[in-house]
Amino acid sequence: MDTFKLERDSRQHLVLIDGDGERYSDVAPVRAFPLSDPPHAVSICDKDGKELVYIDSLDELEPATRAMVEEALGQREFVPVILKILGNPPRTEPSLWHVETDRGCTSFEVESEDSIYRREPRQVSVVDVRGIRYLIPDTRKLDKHSQRVLDRFL
C-alpha cells in the first residue's frame, strides 16, 4: 500500500484509510526493532495483528501522519505495571478500575472483558478504553483481593 491516511474515531482509536478509500478501524503501529532502530521498520497492523502498511522509515511520512504514528507508538510502548487492584470493579461494561501501578495510583475504564487477557500462564494484560496497556507480570504476586477481582474477569 503506497498511500494511506490516519485519523482517530470517536473512541480515539486509530483508523487507517488506504489509497482506495477502504477504512480499517482500531489499527496499531508496531516497531520491528523498538530498542535498536526505533525510527525504522514500523508496521501498521489491524486489530488481529495482520500488517496493513509497512513503513521503512518514519522520516518518509508527512509530519501530521508521523506525529499520529509516534503518539500511538508511545501509548503502545507505555506499559504501567499493575501492583494492586483497589476496590471492586463492576462486572458491567464499561467498568471503572482503580489500581496501584509502578507509576502511582490511577483509574481507567475497561470497555469489556475482551480487554483483559492472559499473555502467558501467569501474565495478564488489561487495555483501557484509550488503548493504554497495563501489565500484570505475575498474577501470583498480587495480593489475595486483587487475585479474586482478576479471577472474575478471566
pLDDT per residue rounded down to tens, the chain (154 residues): 468 999 999 888 899 999 899 999 999 999 998 767 889 999 999 988 899 999 999 999 999 999 999 999 988 788 899 999 999 998 888 899 999 999 999 999 999 888 998 878 899 999 999 888 899 999 999 999 999 999 998 8
- DSSP letter at 46 equals -
Residue 104 C-alpha from the chain's centroid: 19
Q: Bridge-partner residues for 106, per DSSP? A: 99
* Predicted structure pTM score: 0.58
C-alpha span between 80 and 47 (Å, rounded)? 21
pLDDT at 134: 93
CA 50, 56, 60 angle in degrees (round to 5)?
Answer: 120
Omega before 94 within 30 of 0, i.e. cis: yes
- Residues near 50 by beta carbon (within 8 Å), at least 6 away in sequence: none
Residues in the chain: 154
